[in-house]
Amino acid sequence: MNKSRVPLIAGNWKMFHGGASGIDLAAEVARIAGRLAGVECVIAPPFTALAAVAQTVAELAEQTGSAPIGVAAQNFYPEEKGAFTGEVSAPMLVEAGCRWVIVGHSERRQLFAETDAFVAKKAKVALENKLHPIVCVGETLEERGAGATLDVVLRQVNAAMDALLAGKGAAVVAYEPVWAIGTGKVATPADAQEVQSAIRRAIAERDAALAEKIRILYGGSVKADNAAGLLGQPDVDGALVGGASLDAAGFGTILRAAAELSSRASSA
Ligand code: PGA
Protein backbone atom coordinates (compact mmCIF):
# COMPACT_ATOMS: atom_id res chain seq x y z
CA MET A 1 0.00 0.00 0.00
CA ASN A 2 1.13 3.52 -0.73
CA LYS A 3 -0.45 6.59 0.83
CA SER A 4 -0.99 8.23 -2.56
CA ARG A 5 -3.42 5.47 -3.63
CA VAL A 6 -6.73 4.68 -1.92
CA PRO A 7 -6.91 0.89 -1.46
CA LEU A 8 -9.65 -0.93 -3.34
CA ILE A 9 -11.21 -4.15 -2.07
CA ALA A 10 -13.36 -5.85 -4.69
CA GLY A 11 -15.51 -8.93 -4.13
CA ASN A 12 -16.01 -11.25 -7.10
CA TRP A 13 -19.06 -13.34 -6.27
CA LYS A 14 -18.70 -15.48 -9.40
CA MET A 15 -21.81 -17.64 -10.00
CA PHE A 16 -23.20 -17.28 -6.46
CA HIS A 17 -25.94 -15.14 -4.90
CA GLY A 18 -27.81 -14.13 -8.05
CA GLY A 19 -31.10 -13.39 -6.27
CA ALA A 20 -32.47 -12.40 -2.87
CA SER A 21 -29.42 -13.72 -1.00
CA GLY A 22 -27.28 -11.38 -3.09
CA ILE A 23 -29.30 -8.37 -2.02
CA ASP A 24 -28.89 -9.38 1.64
CA LEU A 25 -25.14 -9.89 1.23
CA ALA A 26 -24.77 -6.55 -0.59
CA ALA A 27 -26.64 -4.76 2.18
CA GLU A 28 -24.45 -6.31 4.88
CA VAL A 29 -21.26 -5.40 3.01
CA ALA A 30 -22.51 -1.88 2.34
CA ARG A 31 -23.24 -1.37 6.05
CA ILE A 32 -19.72 -2.48 7.01
CA ALA A 33 -18.02 -0.46 4.27
CA GLY A 34 -20.11 2.62 5.07
CA ARG A 35 -18.51 2.81 8.51
CA LEU A 36 -14.93 2.65 7.19
CA ALA A 37 -12.79 5.48 5.89
CA GLY A 38 -9.77 5.27 3.61
CA VAL A 39 -10.84 2.21 1.64
CA GLU A 40 -12.98 1.81 -1.47
CA CYS A 41 -15.28 -1.21 -1.74
CA VAL A 42 -16.71 -2.81 -4.88
CA ILE A 43 -18.84 -5.94 -5.19
CA ALA A 44 -19.42 -7.95 -8.36
CA PRO A 45 -22.67 -9.97 -8.22
CA PRO A 46 -24.00 -12.05 -11.11
CA PHE A 47 -25.91 -10.19 -13.86
CA THR A 48 -29.30 -11.20 -12.47
CA ALA A 49 -28.71 -9.36 -9.19
CA LEU A 50 -26.95 -6.24 -10.53
CA ALA A 51 -29.84 -3.80 -10.78
CA ALA A 52 -31.37 -4.78 -7.44
CA VAL A 53 -28.00 -4.70 -5.67
CA ALA A 54 -27.18 -1.29 -7.15
CA GLN A 55 -30.53 0.04 -5.97
CA THR A 56 -30.06 -1.44 -2.50
CA VAL A 57 -26.60 0.04 -1.99
CA ALA A 58 -27.73 3.43 -3.32
CA GLU A 59 -30.67 3.51 -0.90
CA LEU A 60 -28.48 2.50 2.05
CA ALA A 61 -25.94 5.18 1.19
CA GLU A 62 -28.68 7.77 1.10
CA GLN A 63 -30.03 6.68 4.49
CA THR A 64 -26.61 6.72 6.15
CA GLY A 65 -25.13 9.68 4.29
CA SER A 66 -22.10 7.64 3.20
CA ALA A 67 -20.76 7.18 -0.32
CA PRO A 68 -22.31 4.12 -2.00
CA ILE A 69 -20.08 1.09 -2.50
CA GLY A 70 -19.31 0.31 -6.13
CA VAL A 71 -21.15 -2.32 -8.12
CA ALA A 72 -19.29 -4.26 -10.79
CA ALA A 73 -20.32 -6.73 -13.44
CA GLN A 74 -18.12 -9.79 -13.86
CA ASN A 75 -18.12 -9.59 -17.64
CA PHE A 76 -19.76 -7.91 -20.66
CA TYR A 77 -19.70 -8.03 -24.44
CA PRO A 78 -17.88 -5.14 -26.11
CA GLU A 79 -20.55 -4.12 -28.62
CA GLU A 80 -23.20 -1.51 -27.94
CA LYS A 81 -26.18 -3.59 -29.07
CA GLY A 82 -27.15 -6.12 -31.68
CA ALA A 83 -27.74 -9.77 -32.45
CA PHE A 84 -25.50 -11.27 -29.76
CA THR A 85 -27.79 -13.79 -28.09
CA GLY A 86 -27.04 -14.19 -24.43
CA GLU A 87 -24.68 -11.22 -24.16
CA VAL A 88 -24.90 -8.00 -22.13
CA SER A 89 -23.47 -4.64 -23.28
CA ALA A 90 -21.67 -1.89 -21.38
CA PRO A 91 -24.57 0.60 -21.73
CA MET A 92 -26.86 -2.06 -20.22
CA LEU A 93 -24.53 -2.38 -17.23
CA VAL A 94 -24.50 1.38 -16.75
CA GLU A 95 -28.28 1.42 -16.90
CA ALA A 96 -28.39 -1.30 -14.22
CA GLY A 97 -26.29 0.92 -11.92
CA CYS A 98 -22.81 -0.53 -12.48
CA ARG A 99 -19.75 1.66 -12.48
CA TRP A 100 -17.21 -1.16 -12.67
CA VAL A 101 -16.59 -4.31 -14.67
CA ILE A 102 -14.11 -7.17 -14.32
CA VAL A 103 -12.40 -8.06 -17.61
CA GLY A 104 -10.04 -10.90 -18.46
CA HIS A 105 -10.61 -12.98 -15.35
CA SER A 106 -8.61 -16.20 -15.73
CA GLU A 107 -11.81 -18.24 -15.63
CA ARG A 108 -12.98 -16.34 -18.71
CA ARG A 109 -9.62 -16.64 -20.42
CA GLN A 110 -9.48 -20.39 -19.71
CA LEU A 111 -13.10 -21.57 -19.87
CA PHE A 112 -14.37 -19.12 -22.48
CA ALA A 113 -11.21 -18.79 -24.60
CA GLU A 114 -10.85 -15.02 -24.15
CA THR A 115 -7.68 -13.73 -25.79
CA ASP A 116 -5.42 -10.84 -24.77
CA ALA A 117 -6.79 -8.83 -27.72
CA PHE A 118 -10.42 -9.43 -26.71
CA VAL A 119 -9.66 -8.48 -23.11
CA ALA A 120 -7.94 -5.29 -24.31
CA LYS A 121 -10.98 -4.44 -26.44
CA LYS A 122 -13.26 -4.92 -23.45
CA ALA A 123 -11.10 -2.65 -21.29
CA LYS A 124 -11.24 0.04 -24.00
CA VAL A 125 -14.99 -0.23 -24.54
CA ALA A 126 -15.64 -0.25 -20.78
CA LEU A 127 -13.77 3.04 -20.41
CA GLU A 128 -15.61 4.56 -23.39
CA ASN A 129 -18.81 3.82 -21.46
CA LYS A 130 -17.43 5.32 -18.24
CA LEU A 131 -17.10 1.94 -16.55
CA HIS A 132 -13.93 1.27 -14.56
CA PRO A 133 -12.41 -1.95 -15.90
CA ILE A 134 -10.60 -4.26 -13.47
CA VAL A 135 -8.17 -5.91 -15.88
CA CYS A 136 -7.07 -9.32 -14.61
CA VAL A 137 -3.70 -10.84 -15.48
CA GLY A 138 -1.82 -13.83 -14.12
CA GLU A 139 0.28 -16.90 -14.90
CA THR A 140 -0.61 -20.59 -14.60
CA LEU A 141 1.31 -22.98 -12.37
CA GLU A 142 2.99 -24.43 -15.45
CA GLU A 143 4.11 -21.01 -16.61
CA ARG A 144 5.44 -20.18 -13.15
CA GLY A 145 7.26 -23.51 -13.05
CA ALA A 146 8.87 -22.70 -16.41
CA GLY A 147 10.11 -19.34 -15.06
CA ALA A 148 7.78 -17.47 -17.43
CA THR A 149 5.73 -15.55 -14.84
CA LEU A 150 6.88 -12.06 -15.75
CA ASP A 151 6.84 -12.78 -19.50
CA VAL A 152 3.22 -13.93 -19.34
CA VAL A 153 1.97 -11.23 -16.98
CA LEU A 154 3.72 -8.40 -18.81
CA ARG A 155 2.46 -9.72 -22.17
CA GLN A 156 -1.08 -9.54 -20.80
CA VAL A 157 -0.51 -6.07 -19.32
CA ASN A 158 1.08 -4.79 -22.54
CA ALA A 159 -1.86 -6.10 -24.57
CA ALA A 160 -4.16 -3.87 -22.49
CA MET A 161 -1.65 -1.01 -22.22
CA ASP A 162 -3.40 1.37 -24.64
CA ALA A 163 -6.58 1.08 -22.59
CA LEU A 164 -4.71 1.52 -19.30
CA LEU A 165 -3.03 4.67 -20.68
CA ALA A 166 -6.30 6.04 -22.03
CA GLY A 167 -7.99 5.37 -18.68
CA LYS A 168 -5.60 7.76 -16.88
CA GLY A 169 -6.12 5.85 -13.62
CA ALA A 170 -9.78 4.91 -14.10
CA ALA A 171 -8.73 1.36 -14.97
CA VAL A 172 -7.37 -1.00 -12.32
CA VAL A 173 -5.07 -3.99 -12.84
CA ALA A 174 -5.56 -7.17 -10.81
CA TYR A 175 -2.66 -9.62 -10.59
CA GLU A 176 -4.22 -13.02 -10.01
CA PRO A 177 -1.87 -15.98 -10.30
CA VAL A 178 -4.11 -18.70 -11.74
CA TRP A 179 -2.69 -21.33 -9.36
CA ALA A 180 -3.82 -19.25 -6.38
CA ILE A 181 -7.45 -18.77 -7.45
CA GLY A 182 -9.88 -20.82 -5.41
CA THR A 183 -7.11 -23.18 -4.33
CA GLY A 184 -6.25 -21.84 -0.89
CA LYS A 185 -2.65 -21.46 -2.15
CA VAL A 186 -2.00 -17.77 -1.76
CA ALA A 187 1.06 -16.07 -3.26
CA THR A 188 3.48 -14.87 -0.61
CA PRO A 189 3.48 -11.11 -0.05
CA ALA A 190 6.98 -11.08 -1.60
CA ASP A 191 5.78 -12.96 -4.72
CA ALA A 192 2.89 -10.54 -5.16
CA GLN A 193 5.15 -7.54 -4.64
CA GLU A 194 7.71 -8.80 -7.16
CA VAL A 195 5.15 -9.19 -9.95
CA GLN A 196 3.16 -6.08 -9.09
CA SER A 197 6.24 -3.85 -9.00
CA ALA A 198 7.16 -5.25 -12.44
CA ILE A 199 3.67 -4.34 -13.69
CA ARG A 200 4.06 -0.81 -12.32
CA ARG A 201 7.49 -0.46 -13.94
CA ALA A 202 6.04 -1.55 -17.29
CA ILE A 203 3.37 1.13 -17.01
CA ALA A 204 5.98 3.70 -15.89
CA GLU A 205 7.93 3.10 -19.11
CA ARG A 206 4.91 4.52 -20.95
CA ASP A 207 3.56 7.04 -18.44
CA ALA A 208 5.38 7.65 -15.15
CA ALA A 209 2.58 9.73 -13.61
CA LEU A 210 -0.01 7.08 -14.39
CA ALA A 211 2.18 4.36 -12.87
CA GLU A 212 2.16 6.29 -9.58
CA LYS A 213 -1.60 6.66 -9.71
CA ILE A 214 -2.94 3.38 -11.07
CA ARG A 215 -4.10 0.77 -8.58
CA ILE A 216 -2.81 -2.78 -8.84
CA LEU A 217 -4.75 -5.36 -6.84
CA TYR A 218 -3.72 -8.83 -5.78
CA GLY A 219 -6.20 -11.70 -6.13
CA GLY A 220 -6.06 -15.42 -5.42
CA SER A 221 -7.11 -16.99 -2.09
CA VAL A 222 -7.15 -13.67 -0.23
CA LYS A 223 -8.75 -14.30 3.16
CA ALA A 224 -9.25 -12.47 6.43
CA ASP A 225 -6.07 -13.97 7.87
CA ASN A 226 -3.66 -13.25 5.00
CA ALA A 227 -4.99 -9.93 3.68
CA ALA A 228 -2.94 -7.61 5.89
CA GLY A 229 0.37 -9.20 4.87
CA LEU A 230 -0.44 -8.80 1.18
CA LEU A 231 -1.87 -5.30 1.51
CA GLY A 232 1.23 -4.23 3.45
CA GLN A 233 3.33 -4.51 0.28
CA PRO A 234 4.13 -1.18 -1.42
CA ASP A 235 2.73 -2.18 -4.83
CA VAL A 236 -0.38 -4.01 -3.57
CA ASP A 237 -3.15 -1.41 -3.68
CA GLY A 238 -6.01 -3.69 -2.77
CA ALA A 239 -7.47 -7.11 -3.37
CA LEU A 240 -9.81 -8.93 -5.71
CA VAL A 241 -11.47 -11.45 -3.44
CA GLY A 242 -13.45 -14.48 -4.62
CA GLY A 243 -14.51 -17.11 -2.08
CA ALA A 244 -13.96 -14.90 0.96
CA SER A 245 -16.24 -12.19 -0.47
CA LEU A 246 -19.28 -14.48 -0.09
CA ASP A 247 -19.27 -14.02 3.67
CA ALA A 248 -19.90 -10.46 4.86
CA ALA A 249 -18.02 -10.91 8.15
CA GLY A 250 -14.89 -12.31 6.50
CA PHE A 251 -15.01 -9.73 3.71
CA GLY A 252 -15.51 -7.06 6.37
CA THR A 253 -12.30 -8.15 8.08
CA ILE A 254 -10.43 -7.67 4.79
CA LEU A 255 -12.02 -4.23 4.35
CA ARG A 256 -11.02 -3.28 7.89
CA ALA A 257 -7.43 -4.48 7.35
CA ALA A 258 -7.22 -2.23 4.28
CA ALA A 259 -8.74 0.74 6.13
CA GLU A 260 -6.31 0.32 9.02
CA LEU A 261 -3.23 0.09 6.77
CA SER A 262 -4.47 3.05 4.79
CA SER A 263 -4.89 5.23 7.88
CA ARG A 264 -1.44 4.15 9.10
CA ALA A 265 0.09 4.95 5.70
CA SER A 266 -1.48 8.38 5.53
CA SER A 267 -0.39 9.36 9.05
CA ALA A 268 3.19 8.10 8.49
P1 PGA B 1 -10.47 -16.63 -4.73
O2 PGA B 1 -10.84 -16.00 -6.16
O3 PGA B 1 -10.31 -15.48 -3.78
O4 PGA B 1 -11.61 -17.53 -4.39
O5 PGA B 1 -9.17 -17.36 -4.91
C6 PGA B 1 -10.28 -14.81 -6.62
C7 PGA B 1 -10.82 -14.47 -7.99
O8 PGA B 1 -11.12 -15.39 -8.76
O9 PGA B 1 -10.96 -13.29 -8.34
C-alpha neighbours within 13 Å on the C-beta side of residue 253: 12
Ligand 1 atom 2 nearest Cα? 242
> Cα of 107 to ligand 1 centre, how many Å?
10
User: Ligand 1 center to residue 11 CA distance, Å?
Assistant: 9
Q: What is the mean pLDDT of residues 103-127?
A: 97
- State residue 267's pLDDT score: 84
pLDDT in tens, 77-92: 999 999 999 999 999 9
For range 189-193, the mean pLDDT: 97
Burial of 258 (0-12, 13-18, 19+ CB in 10 A): buried
So which residues are the catalytic ones? 105, 176
State the distance from the centre of ligand 1 to the C-alpha of 222, rounded, in angstroms.
7
In ligand 1, which atom is closest to the CA atom of 180?
A: 5
Calculate the average pLDDT of the chain: 97
Task: Give the mean model confidence (pLDDT) for residues 170-196.
Answer: 95
Q: What is the pTM of this model?
A: 0.97
Mean pLDDT for 132-145 is 97
Ligand 1 pocket list (CB less than 6 A): 12, 176, 181-182, 219-222, 240-244
